[in-house]
Amino acid sequence: MNLPIAMTLVRIAAIPLICLLYFMHTPWAHFWSGVAYILVAVTDLLDGYIARSRSQTSRFGAFLDPVADKLLVSTILVLLLSQNLTPWLWLPAAIIIGREITVSALREWMAEVGKRTHVAVMNLAKIKTFLLNMGMPFLLWYHADMYQVFFWRIEELPLLVLIIGLFLLTVASVLTIWTMLAYLRAAWPDLISPTP
């Protein structure tokens, strides 16, 4: 086991911790769950960089990294939906989770027919992931009774935090649809070709 794989495993292991922090009955529970999410998301940037810079890439790491990302995002979206079932949240969440399932199945099928590189990760998908990882901490932090930021009391804080989180999630969901359509378009000739 190398450092990038260990960091990816830590990302998976941290998911229950984020959930536990979120449900703790303390005034700062949501804030610290958001901070924990940020720390975990940073490992997603670092493990890939370290793997490439130290020539520690591996098939297991290439498999595990997207699995960790999908587990983290899907679990946190379901967690947020359990507390805030509004159209502004469930619609982007359904789009994002649905896309992850669709693209994962598509990649698996393309790998079976020997054309996995036709649906390789695109830069737009990385931007989508970045925006999603920016928005999630705000949604975790949000609480209707939150007003205090360290020594400052801000009456508009709950609404501001919610708007930022939902805006980033909505933009990420639009990019999610865009990238899914791009993947499907790249794979379409193989999907409709007759079975040999």
pLDDT of 171 strictly over 70: yes
Residues in the chain, total: 196
pLDDT of 186 strictly over 60: yes
Please report, for the domain that includes residue 165, its CATH number: 1.20.120.1760
Q: What's the pLDDT score for residue 160?
A: 84
How many domains does the structure of the chain reveal?
1
Domain with 97, as residue range(s), is: 3-192
| Nearest-10 crossing angle of helices 123-141, 29-53 | 160
Distance of CA 155 to the CA centre of its chain: 30
Distances (CA, A) of 139 to 28, 107, 164, 172: 14, 30, 8, 14
Model confidence pLDDT, tens digit, residues 23-64: 988 878 888 999 999 999 998 888 877 878 888 778 887 788
pTM as predicted: 0.83
Residues 6+ apart with CB under 8 A from 70: 100, 104
Q: What's the pLDDT score for residue 37?
A: 95
